[in-house]
Structure 1
Amino acid sequence: MDEPLRGVGRTALGVARMRAAEHRREDRLFADPFAEAFAAAGPPAVPGTAGAMRDMMVLQVIIRTRFYDDYFLDAAASGIRQVVLLAAGLDTRAFRLDWPDGVRLFEVDLPDVLAFKDATLAGAEPRCGRTVVAADLREDWAGRLPAAGFDPSRPTAWLVEGLLIYLSEDDAAALLDGIGEASAPGSRLATEDGTGTTWLIDLARTHPEQFPAGALWKGGLGEESASWLEEHGWRVEQHSLSDAAASYGRSAPGSGSPRGFLIAERPR
């Protein structure tokens, strides 16, 4: 496949490479045996130099992967059986998590990303019902979900992983509005906390050689992420990166304001 991924799609490949490296560790926080296949099938990695910025971003990816794994398993244990991954990228949770019976998982992303993913995972069996929905999240993605079998009357566990920082404030608000309109009472949402986004973007611009993908960042809702969700009917919990990392036996950077995570619930 010639140049299968560009732009944000290449960042998904970079994230898969980080997951593959974590999978190889003896003290790994999660198992992702599929990540190495993406690394082998994709174009060569964009070189980056070692440094504090890159180390912090790798830690963020590893901790958020485990944190969102736990989020989904907790949601499923509570009875939620409908899952939606927006900008699913090269996520492999449909294939690697121990889902209970009856879970239906929807992956929404651009057609070329999903085509590359399915070609690479050909022959792998998902561990839940899996439906891919090709859509541009800047357009009417929500209108395509019901046609694919999504039921807006059922509680849903949503994940927006690693995306909002790449969007403008207006685009991030529009995306979250779409999620809210499709969320029945009892639905949940997980995403990154915007606290520290301005600091992080400034750091990325100062050290572009360490994390080239930072050039694509626009900031999303930034510091207002949690308050925006609360003002739009969600009950929000904030989890710092350092606390999450410590709970998994990893150390977070001691300086700066790296982002944490938000888990929101639509009250019943």
Structure 2
Amino acid sequence: MTRTDNDTWDLASSVGATATMVAAARALASNAEQPLIDDPYADPLVRAVGVDFFTRLVTGELGLEDLDDDDTVGMQRMTDNMAVRTKFFDEFFSDATRAGVQQAVILASGLDSRAYRLAWPTGVVVYEIDQPDVIAFKSAALAELGAEPTAERRAVAVDLRFDWPAALIDAGFDPSRPSAWSAEGLLGYLPPDAQDRLLDTITELSAPGSWIAVESVPHIDPERQEQAAERMREASQRWREHGFDLDFTELIYLGDRNEAAAYLEERGWRLTRRSVRDLLVANGLPPMDDEDAADFGELQYVSGTLSA
């Protein structure tokens, strides 16, 4: 379903289904022979959503080899990418809160379970922002599992296209104190101008000493954009053959946009960059081949702090 300015979703449709896809990849990564991450809630949350395709994936009824070939975006590589991505953001929050930051904000939190599985220092408050239906489902599903947050969790049920800063402050967030922000798997689902507004708002709400972590994609020329879109369409078709109909190209916004890292640096953030290639190699996972690089190679994981 093509995006519109006021579209909504649950965890089985549109953008929400990608949150379930990500959780399925985290579940697979957690069950690897030598796992980089441990997310015990990913598997049961995927099952709770009830999308048959993803349920069969996490139970092993549908194998990665059934989805991967040389011409499509590989689910195995996506799982590897999710493992290093999750580890990167886990370590980001651990580092920020060990340094004394006591407000963590997870934007578009989806089925993320960091508020339940990380060892947060005493006094940390974790704010999770997402659409009301997504927040309600995850909160109820984790309660049903008997899961207890490991920090003070405050769910902020609001669409990022609305006045989320007011909702965040109403939930107790204090802009005068340092905070740690994550925008994980988010920016590509925003139009370019909305991305800039989001990054501007984060900066406005951040006291000196705040931390940030985002995915950043350098400018891609139109020819390569079309190549990437074609590979996404091929992957969508392969998944459709197994009963799951979702066209990824209808969910994201391709075209010119500011590189998030450079944009943030212009606004006073001091950042370091790690490419997904670097993270895969550093964590002992297979290096990218040319096809993988076409899909993931330019992706950077960026983190840093706001100057005084």
TM value normalised by structure 2: 0.80
- Relative to structure 2, which stretch is displaced further, 190-199 or 176-185? 190-199
1:248 maps to what in 2? 283
Q: Percent identity between the aligned chains?
A: 40
Please tell me whether Structure 1 or Structure 2 has the larger radius of gyration of its CA atoms. Answer: 2
- Relative to structure 2, which stretch is displaced further, 71-80 or 253-262? 253-262
2:36 maps to what in 1? 29
1:190 maps to what in 2? 213
Structure 1 residues 164 and 92: alpha-carbon distance in aligned structure 2, compared to 1, 3 A threshold: same
- Relative to structure 2, which stretch is displaced further, 125-134 or 211-220? 211-220
2:7 maps to what in 1? none
1:260 maps to what in 2? 300
Matched-pair contact (CA < 8 Å) for 1:95–1:126: yes
Match of 1:131 among 145, 154, 157: 154
Match of 1:80 among 101, 112, 120: 101
SS where residue 202 of structure 1 aligns? helix
2:168 maps to what in 1? 145
Aligned-residue offset at 1:222: 4.5
Aligned-residue offset at 1:39: 1.5
CA distance in 1 between partners of 2:119 and 2:262 (Å): 33
1:96-145 deviation per Cα after TM superposition (whole angstroms, max 9, x unaligned): 11111111000000011111111210121010010000111112111111
CA distance in 2 between partners of 1:206 and 1:21 (Å): 22
Matches within 5 A, 1:97-176: 97-122=118-143, 123-176=146-199
1:9 maps to what in 2? 16
Q: Mark the runs of 5 or more structure 1 residues left unpaired by the alignment.
A: none
Q: How many residues align?
A: 266
1:10-51 deviation per Cα after TM superposition (whole angstroms, max 9, x unaligned): 110010111111111230011111011112111223798313
Matched-pair contact (CA < 8 Å) for 2:109–2:129: yes
Aligned-residue offset at 1:57: 2.9
Match of 1:45 among 53, 56, 62: 53
1:18 aligns with 2:38: no
TM value normalised by structure 1: 0.92
1:147-178 deviation per Cα after TM superposition (whole angstroms, max 9, x unaligned): 10101111111000001011111010011111
SS where residue 210 of structure 1 aligns? helix
Matched-pair contact (CA < 8 Å) for 1:59–1:252: no
CA distance in 2 between partners of 1:144 and 1:84 (Å): 12
2:4 maps to what in 1? none
Matches within 5 A, 1:180-259: 180-195=203-218, 199=224, 202-211=227-236, 212-219=247-254, 222=257, 224-255=259-290, 256=293, 257-259=297-299
Aligned-residue offset at 1:233: 1.8
CA distance in 2 between partners of 1:33 and 1:187 (Å): 29
Matched-pair contact (CA < 8 Å) for 1:17–1:36: yes
Q: Mark the runs of 5 or more structure 2 residues left unpaired by the alignment.
A: 1-9, 55-61, 237-246
C-alpha root-mean-square deviation of aligned residues, in Å? Answer: 2.1
Matched-pair contact (CA < 8 Å) for 2:219–2:259: no
